[in-house]
Amino acid sequence: MAADLPAWVRELDMALPVYPQILLTGNVRDEYLLPAEDGADGPQPYGLLGVIERVCGRREFGVLAVHDVVQNRINAWPIHEEPGELPSALLELAA
């Protein structure tokens, strides 16, 4: 991860390989300016899920799963070309 990223994004990147779940609280509906990945000029705005997806994608994680507290269900989507299989426990929760 680049040093020009916010400290919390670098901390998230370091925590992901160590902890199986990450709980983020606070400004979860904010937009965050991060350096563009696609070669565009200047920083680009990302929502929280976009930041998380970007960090997980760089680590080549296969699937991102998020608990939707409003609908009380887990939403999961692939973030890598070869996501592999979802664990059976996650499949049960996502159903």
Co-location of 71 and 43 in the same domain: no
Query: What is the reported pLDDT for 26?
Result: 84
Instruction: Give the count of domains, the chain.
Output: 2
Co-location of 53 and 66 in the same domain: no
* Residue span of the structural domain in which 45 resides: 1-59
Co-location of 24 and 67 in the same domain: no
Co-location of 12 and 44 in the same domain: yes
Co-location of 10 and 51 in the same domain: yes
Reported as a single tens digit per residue, the pLDDT across 80-91 is 776 566 667 666
Reported as a single tens digit per residue, the pLDDT across 4-57 is 889 999 999 999 989 878 888 888 889 999 988 777 788 899 999 999 999 988
Separation in Å, CA 20 to CA 46, 59, 94: 23, 14, 17
User: How many other C-beta atoms are found inside a 10 Å radius of the C-beta of residue 83?
Assistant: 15
Q: What global pTM score does this model have?
A: 0.76
